[in-house]
Structure formats: structure tokens, C-alpha cells
Structure 1
């Protein structure tokens, strides 16, 4: 391919002194919002022109676009939600840009289309985000996401007629949707941002409001706020029987909460008395359910791997009582369905479920189909059924209905596929990190590749932060990579939530280097075990995982052939100055505190590019509407990469328009991005698509059990 000529990028002589150290920031001007900064918009256009020209010339791009589209073309469903005898669920026929929302009366009722987001925007970039039916199923409250932004617009429709109501809520963000009877709902929002600051301004003063149907937003009742502590955020939930509202407060991204309870039975109009239930911002508290004055919670209070507790607020002296003690496995979540508890556990980053009596008494284990991830198990006290999804790396989600009275589980919606999932093998290995820590990793290959016992181009994925556990899940893009003969690996690094509080703590703050060491050790393991070809190891990560990729490329550029850094946090000295970045100090530390600064400065991807080293091929991806990790992080990092002498391999940036941090992305954009990434990786890892790599499409994507 012809040599790449990178666009000229202005470098400013901006140097600041932090704790006695001079730090250059020549590309700070690229932090400006592209919507309001013509010079940044011009730079974005020139960078995209170079990148698009390069990617379009990759010989395998057309193949990967075709195969990703084929793997994505199957009918898929969301987990049903039941309200007032109605069943609500999402469905995508396969290649629709956005899933549609359907409703039907009873299990055997005729499906009726309620919402079609595909009609909301010509480019498909306006998405249906969250949705919640009212208790009796009369109304549907839903949130709209435009262009991938974190901001949401809340709207309501009449389920019986499908007609929209006039109600509309603006500036909602990081909110739950909680009905109070049929009269209105609780939600969280921030003050309206200043002109031009919607996509970059810091988020403070989150407040819970009550909106009464049929009234304007400026008449909404203030339910809970902390004006003396504008850094606190608040989210409201309501128990299924409508008796109690729970306000959960947080300060950062740490799962350390305070909880307050509002008794909705004795509420007067305009009065919202919230009394403390949990104080101190010390532990995680996840509401399971409530019945009357009884509440169930999953918590890591005195149980780093979580346990189930309950409290009776009507008791003379209410106190928490343990129902299910802490175990070796992580208790991820629980539900109260019928007269039973459904507990969802995670063991070595894979799911299993158990069903117990409401008092925590002996129950039964729910069998799942191999290594994978189970989700759902939602319901309410008195309900005879629940629904859940199960997915793995080699198979997309199937939806199951479980009869709680009999324990019988039956398929509700199982997709028809264009390939045989059994032709791919999922295994879990454990490897040793730099300090001797044992770390799990999933490895996925076709059976033919695994049987051949020869190293192949391998894509390694990681995240390692914010108490987030990476579990098995399906990706059409990854399937196209596996079909072409590559291998895929996912490492469960420290900093995540795979093993509870201690695992998280071991990979954040001053311990962040452990995450990078774990990822590097995973790559070395794949090469040493003969899974990855020596010159064919690629890495990928997004958001905090983009930071991971940037950091380890700086530390071990020799180990990797290619790297994909997506929507990453790349400037660790200024991340807390934009939108939700201030929350991340829980994981990263405070740039304005010397001890934290020293740690952050030592690994910040933007500040540690190694001039003169031979770097792998790098593709940075971001989006102009990303208001979670603002695109300035990636802009500055890419400009610095292109300025430095790092060898002959490309360092490109792909900047999506009308897209954000990832959620709500239309199918067409996802396919285009996936094809670009795989073609780039194939070029630099040596993956060659065999001429006979074709799979007959199964003639449609019709589900075996129509909901």
C-alpha cells in the first residue's frame, strides 16, 4: 500500500508545571467541541479523509463487511416485561438499524407494534433507550437517545391506543424510570447546561423529580436533592407493589451508596419525606424487590463477594437480616418472582442461577447451556413466571420462560442462525501475571483451528476497571474473525468485578499498573502457548479499555502487531474536567493530588508515547457525539502518535459522526465500523481469508418460537 501522509496538525507551546514537573500539552486546542470549533472540525475532516482512503484500500474489507452483515442477520428479541397482563418486548428482524418495541395481551396474544425508532431519524441514529410500562400496563414511559449522546428525552404513550401523550422531559441523564401508580413517574436529571456546553460541561446537581402525567416539566415536584453536595447523584426506584420508593445516592463510580426510603402510601401532594435506610457511602446496595414494608437487597456490606439480606420496616426496631450468606462465587443480582428468590451467581466470569424460598431456604440449581452469561430473571411477588436470556461467544441470546411453580424452562425465542455454533469451541484458561496472580481468560476458536494446534492471528480484548465483569457474549464481528481462521481471547483483568471488591481494588488507583501487567501477561501467554502467532497478536479495548490499549502499547510495543483503541480515556491529567469524567476519580485518582498525579503521569497514554520505538499498527476510534469520554482524548492521542517517530506502521484515527460512546449505534454504522476494524487487523496480523470460507445463509432469521 502507498505510504500514508498524515494531515498537518498545529502544535502549541503549552507547558504547565504540576508538582514541580513540566508537562507539555501541545494539542489541547483539540479538546474544543467540534460543533463550535471550525479548526477542530477541519482537522477531523482531514483525518477522516486519510483514514477512509486507507481503509477502503484494504483487500479484505469487502469480505468482512459481507460476513458481519450475514452473521448479524438473525431475528433477535429482548427479555419480555409483564405489566397488567401485557407482555412488552423488543424485536429486531435482523438488519434493522434499531430494535422495535412490541406488546401483546397474554402469552398467546397477537404482537402489536408500539414503537419503531427506525422512523425517528433518516440516518437511524436516534434510538429507543430504556422503557418501562406502568403497573397496570396502561402507559409506557420510554427514553430517547439521539446520536449516541448520554442525554435522554423522556416520553409517554398510551398502550391501548398507541397514541403519544404530550408529556416530555429534557436533560435526563443516568436515570432510572420509576412509575408511581398510573399518575406519574420519578426520574433524575441535571440542570439545563449553558449554551454550547451540553456535550462537554461537567455534570453536577443531579436531582430526582416527580412528573405528573398531563403537566409541563416546569411543574414537576422536587423529590430529592443535595444542593450542599452537588457532586452527589441520585436515582429513584419503586417497588413492584408501588408501596415504597428508594432513592440511591452515589458520589463517583464506586459502588458505595446511601439509600433513603419514601413511603408512598402516606404521601401528600408535593411532599416527599425520604428517611435514611443506609448511610455512609461505604458499600454496594442493589435493590432486589419489596413487598409491603419488606425489602430485599444484594450487598457487599461485610461480604466482599455479596450476600442477600432483608429488612422489615414495620418491625419495632428494623434491622438487616441475612438470608443467603456470602459464598466463593459472586452474587451478581437477585429477583423475587412468585414466592421464590432467583439468584444469579458468577463463577470465574461465567453465570449460573439458583432458585430458593423467600426465606433463603433450600432450593434448586437452574442448568445453563455451558460457559455463558445469563441475564433477566425479572418478575414480581405473586408472579408464576420469569424470563431470562442466555448467550455465549459462539451463540447469540436465546430467551427462555421459566414456570416457577413447576421449575420447567421452555424456549420463548430462539434465533435461527446461518452457522453451526458447535463448530466453535469456548474454553477457559488461567495464566499467571507478573506478580504471580492467577488470572482467567476465555479463548474462542473454530474446532478446526483448535484441532490443528497451530498458532493463528489472535485478537485479545480487555477492560480491567470500574468493578465491571467481562462475561461471555455474542458479537457478529468476532464471529467473522473466527470464521476467517483467527482466534479471540478475553482476559478478566484485575480492576474488574469478576471476583468482588478485592479484585477491583487490586486494579485501580495506585494499583492500576496491575491491570496493564495482567493484559501484557495474557498476550505473552497466548504466544507462549502457541495460540497466537508471534507476529499476529492484536489487542482491542474500549473506554477504560481504550486507556488499557494505549498504556500497554506504550509499555510493550514489541509484543503487539496491531491495536484498536476505542473511545479511550487517553489524557489522564485532564479526564476529570469534562462531562462525567469527575466521577472516575474513584478508579483513577485525583490529578490535582500529588500522589495520584505521579501514578497517572506514569501511564497516561497521551504523555508516554515512546519516541523512536517501533510501534504496532494503531487504529484509534471515537465519535463526535461521545459525551461520556469526550473525543478530545482520542484527538490529542492520535495527533501525538502521528507526530512521533514510531516506525512505518500506520497510526490512524476513525471519527464517527452522529454517534457516541457506543450505545444506540445503528446497525449500519456497527457493520461499517466492524468491517474497518477487522480489515485493519487482518492486514497487520497476517490473517488471510481462505477462498472456501463461505457459509450458506439459512434463508432468513425466523425465530423458532414466535413471541
Structure 2
């Protein structure tokens, strides 16, 4: 499951078809490119087993349960046959190699993260184009010549070991860095002496969803650690009962001090952030993915590491921004559904002062840089940057370069410059510096453009969901006359969950689709965070069907207004968005010409039994709950497949995904293949040595994007 979309980075390196229709074969206009010979390619047979579970008096069969054993030899062999079946369909599409070549060309540009000052150094990550992994670089100035500090490409021959975290000591002399193998959420922390570029002996295993927060004496750092999983269950076993630990450099992990743990609350998670002045550590306590959290603090001066309560009611979201005097500044939705900035005295949590009040737009995040608060707001699902003095006095809105989103925002209270990355649908992520004197942005670095960004039209349209809720959707296409005849190949994308905001972002893959005459449509759905707390609550748990209904309304808008029709409209979503695509596919297959559910949560009755799945119960609920079981059963994609005609479907996953297990996709693919009563293919693509998405090598990203675009050319066509 994708973690919450975070606007501020503190670690910069940090259809039923019409009767007899075979649209996927013969096409319309330029049309789908698949040769009719592929209709003879049948999916592999999948063995069934006699497994039945009982939920509150209901018996639910699970005939493909054996596919949950992702490392089993029979499952690996089955996945190989599925990949071969998928390849047999995609290999005959004439445009496949042209698609691959264009994607490679667009990808082959230098890209940077925002620079951040760490001691005497400036650091950022950089990919020179087709490097499998970005390289951590170090320099004397934010725009000066740099040299390699850490190159993760040297850590594996196939590029599947990625840098998953980087944190410098206060003086910049030591670097704690985390690596991930084959896309796993498991990370291993190492420590480097920056001056000599040598790795120390420290090696910290069994960490997940964790940063490294150094104490200012440079002696060690806080991190989150889980119990070691049982042998053979590293990628499948439930991930529970973490501890917040403090590691002293030069000592074994077994000697790490447990600072905070709650074995009575196995789904809680912990993080720490040391304040800029080094006096305190702010401890975040979360209950799974629930937006509401607790906050505690540690006075680092007395050496006791005693954790003291501050905000302990789980009554709201409290995101720490920094210290203002002796008070902690938070972004919170306490008594403010759109968020506000509140200062809380560490000595007495009842002493609270509103610094910046709530407004009509969602406050997505904030950062203290210099003597200012830089606040990011969401205005109809795109970012706005506003400056405030630390007392809350407004200092104006920063003019951003178009309709887009801030990826990173870096800078510290003793800096006089802030850096950010900014991107849009038609412009890749570029690095800017904010001039505090003028309030304007200066371009620092921009990737070379291998296309004309002014050749595309981006607009946001409004319409209503079935229950009358106003909705918005971005549409991206080539400029020029648009035939509203329903024949435009269109890709509809959505997410709708976990308070995560889907904002304008640059995608080489989407750009290539639009270049080929397609329309990219990005729907803003309930369940996300674009319009504040109420928007999120309206799309979770008992109200999850609202998200799917919003997606249906988005598709119907495109049909009704002639942008596309059911033969030319494809849907796509990842993770929770894979659930979205899967649920909409099985509920109304006649609306769509193709579907691409990626790394999706597709078995809503068993998702919580694996790895970190139980952490999502605040968002979805659990089938163990008699009240929520019928809700989950009603929309679970796996359990709502019927013998009918489905559109062409490409289901994708990674064989090492330990966030949303590949078993979700495996069982869904087998069930759809068995139920399909039409001619369209149900395909499964399994990427080897890949996880949920993070850390994926560039060559693998290009290969996956090539096959998705090839599938779209084969199904909804090009124009």
C-alpha cells in the first residue's frame, strides 16, 4: 500500500462488449494493433484446491489459495507460464519497439532532487539518465560542482539494490544510509564516514518505514526496528510489534536501546525527529495508517531517554513542523478539517496557540526555513506555496511555474534559502531556489526537454458524481482540433484513499501516450486528501463504494462529452488504486475497453493477514468485524468476479512485493481467466526481483511502461 503522499520532504536525499464485438482485435480508426492470431492464445490452466473459509456464518471459497505462497516452486512456475502467455500477446503488437525506443529517449535525461545543507556540505541525488538508481552526490554549494558520495549502482549487478534512506549527522561527518533489496520494504541501515567514504561495521537489519534521526553529539540515531521474521516468511509474515530504538555508532545492533514500544498495540508504529537545536526528540506514534496520531517527546539533555506524553488522545492529525521558541509547531486538523498551524508548549500541552488559522483550502504541509513558515496548500488538487512569519503574519503567495506540484521542500531554520522541486503534467521535476528577499523562484536545474511542453493542453473539468457530489478531473492531450466522437484513446487514472492527494505530476509514460494521440484523464476522488478531512472520510470503510462511484462518474463524463467511449476508454490504478481499477472492472465491465490494475489490494477478506496489511484496517476495516464483513464482501474485486464478458485486462505485480502480496494479483488473474466469457485476454505480468514500486531500476521501469503502452495500443488503440 502506498504510504501517505507527503508534500514536504525533511530528508531531501531523503465492458460487456456489444454482442459479438471483438474490439480488442479489430479496432476503430487507427485502432488496436493486435493481430487476430492472438485470439488462439489461451491462458494457462490454474489448479484449484478445496479451501473454504467461514466469515460470520457465510462460507467463502478460495480455490486459488495456494497462489499466496509466492516463493513456492509451483507458484514461481505458474507465474512463469503467465508471463509467457502475456508475452505471446504483446510480442505481436507492431508498435512495441517504437514505444520502447521513445520511452528510452524521454527517460534519458539528467534528473536531480532538491539540494539540502548538511554540515558544511550540500547534498542531493542525481540520475544521469539511464542509471538504474540515482546517485547521492556532495558539493560545497547548492549549484556547484559535485562528486559521488554513494552510488547504489555499485551494490548489485542488476540494479535492484536501492538507496531507501539517507540521514547525515549534524556536523555532516557521518551518513546513515538504508538499502533495500529487490523492492522490499525491509531496509538495512549502514553508516559511512563521509570524509573517507568508508562504511563502518554498523549494520542494522529488520527496519521498515523508518528514517534515522541523529542526536547532535553524533553518537547515534533513532530508528524503528521490527522483530526478526521466521525463516522462509520474510516477504509474507505479518509485520507487527515494532520498537523505537537508539543505536550507538560502533556497537552491535543487539545492544541498541529500546526507547519506546507497545507490545499491547502490535499495529502501532513509531518515528522520531530531533529538533533543529538538538534539545529534544519529537516522537510520533501512529496506529497503522490512521491519519490520527499521538505525539510524545524526549528531553535529550538528561540522557535518560524518557518518553514524555504530549498529545496522546488519537483525536487528530499532528504533523510536527519544528520549534518556535519552546513550543512545537504542528500542522493539525484538530477543530480544522482543512488543517491549521498550532504551537503546543512542550511543558504543558493545554497551552496551545493558533499560528495560522484554517481556510477554504487544504493545508498539506509546512516547513520552517529561516525565520519563515513555508506552507503548502492544495487548491483544487494542485499545489500553492504561501509564506508566513513565525508569528503567523502572512507574507504572500509564491508564484509557482504553472499548474503542478511540489515534490520536495528543503531548508532549515538557520538557512537563508529554501529549495524545492516542482513538476507538472507536461514539465519534468525541476529544482528551484526561493529568494526570501523578493519572494520569487530562481531556476537552478532543469532536465533537458526532448519534447515541446507547449504542444499539450491541460485543463481541469468539473461534473458531479451519482449522489450529486461535485468532482474534478484533469485532462491532458495534444493541442489542436479535438474530435468529440468518442473515438479518442483515453486512459483514466485514479487513487481515492488513505488521505493521499493525487496532484499533477510528470510521467514519461503518460506523455508518450498523449504524444500518440491519447487523452490522459486524472480523476480526483473521494477518499483522497485533496479537499480535507471530510473528503477523506467520505471514501473510507463503510463509504468506500463512493470512490468507485466517483470513478464511474468520471468515465461517464468522458463518454457523455464525446472524449471517449467504452471501446476506447482504459482504466488504471496502483496499490489502493489497483483496488479501484479491479473493483470498477468487475462492477461495470461494460464501461471500459481495457483495465490495468497494478499491485492492487484485490482480496479484501484476507489482506490484513499478511505483512503490513493490518495497518490498513483504519482505512478499510476488517472481515473479522461482523459489521464490516458485508461491506468488504460487497466490493472485494476477487469475490465479485462472475462468468461474464470482461474487457482486456493487464494485471501487474512484483514477485517480491511485501506490502501488497503478489497473491492478490495471482488469485485475481486466475479467477478472471476462469470466468471470462468473451474473447478478450486476461493477462498477468509479474516483474522479477521487484516489490511494490520503490527502488525499481530504470531498465525495469522502461520495460514495464513499454508493456503497458503496448497493451493500450493493442486494446484502445492510438489516433
TM bucket, shorter chain: over 0.9
Which residue matches 1:130? Answer: 165
1:288 equivalenced with 2:316 (yes/no): no
Provide, for residues 123-153 of structure 1, a one-character-per-residue CA deviation record: whole Å limited to 9, x for no partner. Answer: 1111111212111111111110110000001
1:384–1:405 CA contact under 8 A, matched in 2: no
Give the counterpart of 1:304 among 327, 337, 343.
337
1:18 equivalenced with 2:87 (yes/no): no
Which residue matches 1:543? Answer: 575
Aligned counterparts of 1:592 and 1:90: Cα–Cα separation in 2: 44
Provide, for residues 349-375 of structure 1, a one-character-per-residue CA deviation record: whole Å limited to 9, x for no partner. Answer: 100111111100121110012210023
Which residue matches 2:658? Answer: 627
Q: Secondary structure at the match of 1:174?
A: coil
Which residue matches 1:238? Answer: 274
Give the counterpart of 1:100 among 126, 135, 146.
135
1:285–1:300 CA contact under 8 A, matched in 2: yes
1:657 equivalenced with 2:694 (yes/no): no
Q: After superposition, where does 1:251-266 map in structure 2 within 5 Å?
A: 251-266=287-302
Q: Secondary structure at the match of 1:265?
A: coil
Aligned counterparts of 1:15 and 1:678: Cα–Cα separation in 2: 38
How much has 1:322 moved relative to structure 2? Answer: 0.3
1:241–1:292 CA contact under 8 A, matched in 2: no
Aligned counterparts of 2:54 and 2:204: Cα–Cα separation in 1: 44
Which residue matches 1:702? Answer: none
1:283–1:299 CA contact under 8 A, matched in 2: yes
Of the two structures, which has the highest relative contact order with CA contacts closer than 8 Å and spacing of 6 or more? 2
1:227 equivalenced with 2:252 (yes/no): no
How much has 1:105 moved relative to structure 2? Answer: 1.5
How much has 1:170 moved relative to structure 2? Answer: 0.4
Which residue matches 2:178? Answer: 143
Which residue matches 1:673? Answer: 704
1:7 equivalenced with 2:44 (yes/no): yes
1:239–1:291 CA contact under 8 A, matched in 2: no
2:167–2:211 CA contact under 8 A, matched in 1: no
Q: After superposition, where does 1:455-466 map in structure 2 within 5 Å?
A: 455-466=487-498
Aligned counterparts of 2:41 and 2:553: Cα–Cα separation in 1: 32
Q: After superposition, where does 1:23-422 map in structure 2 within 5 Å?
A: 23-34=60-71, 37-107=72-142, 109-181=144-216, 182-267=218-303, 271-290=304-323, 293-313=326-346, 319-422=351-454
Aligned counterparts of 1:408 and 1:547: Cα–Cα separation in 2: 41
Aligned counterparts of 2:162 and 2:485: Cα–Cα separation in 1: 44
Consecutive unaligned residues in structure 2, runs of 5 or more: 1-36
Give the counterpart of 1:514 among 546, 549, 570.
546
Aligned counterparts of 1:333 and 1:274: Cα–Cα separation in 2: 25
> Which is further off, 47-56 or 138-147?
47-56
Aligned counterparts of 2:583 and 2:207: Cα–Cα separation in 1: 34
How much has 1:562 moved relative to structure 2? Answer: 0.4
Give the counterpart of 1:640 among 671, 689, 702.
671
1:243–1:293 CA contact under 8 A, matched in 2: no
Aligned counterparts of 1:437 and 1:584: Cα–Cα separation in 2: 26
2:496–2:526 CA contact under 8 A, matched in 1: yes
Consecutive unaligned residues in structure 1, runs of 5 or more: 689-707
Provide, for residues 401-421 of structure 1, a one-character-per-residue CA deviation record: whole Å limited to 9, x for no partner. Answer: 113244342111111111111
Aligned counterparts of 1:448 and 1:264: Cα–Cα separation in 2: 62
2:399–2:440 CA contact under 8 A, matched in 1: no
Which residue matches 2:596? Answer: 564
Q: Secondary structure at the match of 1:281?
A: coil
Q: Secondary structure at the match of 2:428?
A: strand
How much has 1:216 moved relative to structure 2? Answer: 1.2
Change (3 A) 1:49 1:108: closer
Aligned counterparts of 1:684 and 1:378: Cα–Cα separation in 2: 43
Aligned counterparts of 1:548 and 1:524: Cα–Cα separation in 2: 16
Q: After superposition, where does 1:681-696 map in structure 2 within 5 Å?
A: 681-688=712-719
Aligned counterparts of 1:606 and 1:78: Cα–Cα separation in 2: 39
Aligned counterparts of 2:396 and 2:288: Cα–Cα separation in 1: 37
Aligned counterparts of 2:715 and 2:113: Cα–Cα separation in 1: 37
Aligned counterparts of 1:147 and 1:138: Cα–Cα separation in 2: 29
Aligned counterparts of 2:481 and 2:85: Cα–Cα separation in 1: 35
Aligned counterparts of 1:553 and 1:91: Cα–Cα separation in 2: 39
How much has 1:625 moved relative to structure 2? Answer: 0.4
Q: Secondary structure at the match of 1:282?
A: coil
How much has 1:17 moved relative to structure 2? Answer: 2.7
Aligned counterparts of 1:160 and 1:318: Cα–Cα separation in 2: 46
Q: Secondary structure at the match of 2:301?
A: helix
Provide, for residues 324-360 of structure 1, a one-character-per-residue CA deviation record: whole Å limited to 9, x for no partner. Answer: 0011101111111111111111111100111111100
1:400–1:412 CA contact under 8 A, matched in 2: yes
How much has 1:19 moved relative to structure 2? Answer: 2.2
Aligned counterparts of 1:73 and 1:474: Cα–Cα separation in 2: 15
1:243–1:292 CA contact under 8 A, matched in 2: no
Q: Secondary structure at the match of 1:79?
A: coil
* Count of residue pairs the alignment pairs up: 681
How much has 1:657 moved relative to structure 2? Answer: 0.5
Change (3 A) 1:244 1:638: same
Aligned counterparts of 1:470 and 1:632: Cα–Cα separation in 2: 26
> Which is further off, 563-572 or 6-15?
6-15
How much has 1:108 moved relative to structure 2? Answer: 5.9
Provide, for residues 557-593 of structure 1, a one-character-per-residue CA deviation record: whole Å limited to 9, x for no partner. Answer: 1110000010011111101100011011111111011
> Taking structure 1 as the reference length, what is the TM-score of the superposition?
0.94
Aligned counterparts of 1:526 and 1:318: Cα–Cα separation in 2: 51
Change (3 A) 1:408 1:549: closer
Aligned counterparts of 2:145 and 2:713: Cα–Cα separation in 1: 46
1:502 equivalenced with 2:534 (yes/no): yes
Aligned counterparts of 2:513 and 2:668: Cα–Cα separation in 1: 27
1:584 equivalenced with 2:616 (yes/no): yes
Q: Secondary structure at the match of 1:112?
A: strand
How much has 1:215 moved relative to structure 2? Answer: 1.2
How much has 1:50 moved relative to structure 2? Answer: 1.2
How much has 1:452 moved relative to structure 2? Answer: 8.0
Aligned counterparts of 1:185 and 1:83: Cα–Cα separation in 2: 15
Aligned counterparts of 2:410 and 2:106: Cα–Cα separation in 1: 29
Q: Secondary structure at the match of 2:351?
A: coil
Aligned counterparts of 1:212 and 1:682: Cα–Cα separation in 2: 55
Change (3 A) 1:227 1:452: closer
Aligned counterparts of 2:205 and 2:707: Cα–Cα separation in 1: 35
Q: CA RMSD, aligned part only?
A: 1.5
Aligned counterparts of 2:627 and 2:346: Cα–Cα separation in 1: 44
Aligned counterparts of 1:280 and 1:32: Cα–Cα separation in 2: 39
